[in-house]
Amino acid sequence: MERDRRGIKERLDKIREEFFAQIKEISSPVQMQEIKARYIGRKGELTQLLKGLKDLSPDERPHIGRLVNDLKKEIQSFIQQVSLSFSFLQGKKEDITLPGVFSSLGHLHPLTQVINQIEDIFKRLNFRVVEGQEIEDEYHNFEALNIPLDHPSRDAFDTFYLSSPEHLLLRSQTSTVQIRVMEKEKPPLRIISAGRVFRPDATDASHSCVFHQVEGFMVDKEVSLANLKAILAEFISQMFGEEVKMRFRAHYFPFTEPSAEVDISCLLCKGRGCSVCASKGWLEILGAGMIHPRVFEKVGYDPEKVSGFAFGMGVERIAMLKFNIQDIRLFFENDIRFLQQF
C-alpha cells in the first residue's frame, strides 16, 4: 500500500512537472487543446489515474483521490488562464471596439483648391472647362496671339525652348488655349482653362519660373465690354466676397483691344492702404480685354461678325491674396507643415 501511494505521488509529481514544461512551450490554441486532452481529457493521464482509484483500498482512496484532484484543478485553472490570454490575443485582431490604425488622409494642394474654386464659379456661369497643352509652338504662343517675332512684349513672355524638336517651347501663358479652341470650334464659346505656364524668371518671393494661370474667354455675336465687366464682377464677388470692389485700369496686351488690368479693393485694409497693397488700397488680380480682331483673323473668324472678351489670372497670386501667403516658393517646396494648413 505504502508503495502504491508513493508510486502514485511520484507519478503525480512527474505529471505536474511535464505539464508545466510542455505548457511553457506552446504557441497556439491548438497546441493547448492537445495538452488539455493529454492530461485532463477523457483519456488523459489524470483521468486515467482517477479511474484507477477504485483499485485502491477504501482508506487510501480519499487521500490519493484528493491529491489527484488537486493536481487536476491546478492544471485546469492554468489551462483556463492560458486559453484566456490566447483568446485575448486573438480577440485583439477582431475587437471592433478597439480604435483602428489610422493612415493619414491627404488633401488637395492649395493651388488645386483655388483652381477648382475658380472653375466652379465659371461653370455656374455656363463656361466649359477645357485642358490646354503645356508644350506649344511659337505660332500658338506668340504669332497667333498677335505677338510678332520682333515685338517688344515678346521679351516679357519669352520662355524655355525645347532643344528638339526645334521651335517647340513651354507655353508662357494660357492664352494659347484661346487659339487652340477657336481653331477647332465655332462660336458661341464660353471657355475656362487652368494650367501651368513657364517663364525664365529668377525665383524670389513673388516670382517663380513655373506657375499657374486660368484663362477665360467668351466669343459670340455682340459680346461687349459690359459683358466682360458683369462676368468678372460676379466672379470677384463669389471668389472674394460681395463687399469687395473692382476697378478696370487701362493697359496694353497685344491680343486684346481695348485691354485692362483689373484690380480689387485690398482684402486686408479694405481700400484704406496697407503694406499688402503698398498703400494703394487696390490689388491687381488679372488682365483682360476685348479679343483683338487680328486674333480672330488668325483662327478664321470674321471680326465683323463676332466679338469676344478674354481674361487671364495668376493662380498663385489669387491664392496668396486669399490665404495671406507672403512667399510664392512655399507652394512648390512640398513642406507638409505649410500644405497642411489649407
Binding residues vs ligand DAH (CB under 6 A): 173, 175, 215, 253, 256, 287-289, 310-312
Q: Toward ligand DAH, which CB reaches closer, 248 or 342?
A: 248
List the grid coordinates of 158. Answer: 519669352
Closest CA to 311 of 266, 258, 244, 269: 258
State in angstroms the smallest separation of the CB of 102 from ligand DAH: 43
Choose between 175 and 265: whose C-beta lies nearer to ligand DAH: 175
CB of 253 to ligand DAH, least distance (A): 4
User: Grid coordinates standing for 166?
Assistant: 526645334
Q: Which CB, 37 or 156, lies closer to ligand DAH?
A: 156
The dihedral sign for the CA sequence 271, 274, 280, 284 = negative
Distance of CA 292 to the CA centre of its chain: 40
Which residue, 173 or 208, has its beta carbon nearer to ligand DAH?
A: 173
CB of 243 to ligand DAH, least distance (A): 26
In the complex with ligand DAH, which residue's Cβ is closer, 247 or 272? 247
| 138 phi, psi to nearest 5 deg | -60, -35
* Cα 328 to the center of its chain, rounded Å: 20
For ligand DAH, give the closer residue by CB, 256 or 265: 256
Asked whether 23 and 85 are in contact (CB, 8 A), the reply is no
Pairing relationship of beta strands 282-291 and 307-314 according to DSSP bridges: antiparallel
CB 284 within 8 A of CB 320: no
Are 174 and 140 contacting, i.e. CB atoms less than 8 angstroms apart?
no
Distance of CA 114 to the CA centre of its chain: 14
CB of 304 to ligand DAH, least distance (A): 21
CA distance 327 to 158: 23
Shortest reach from residue 204's CB to ligand DAH, in Å: 18
Q: Closest approach of Cβ 165 to ligand DAH, in Å?
A: 25
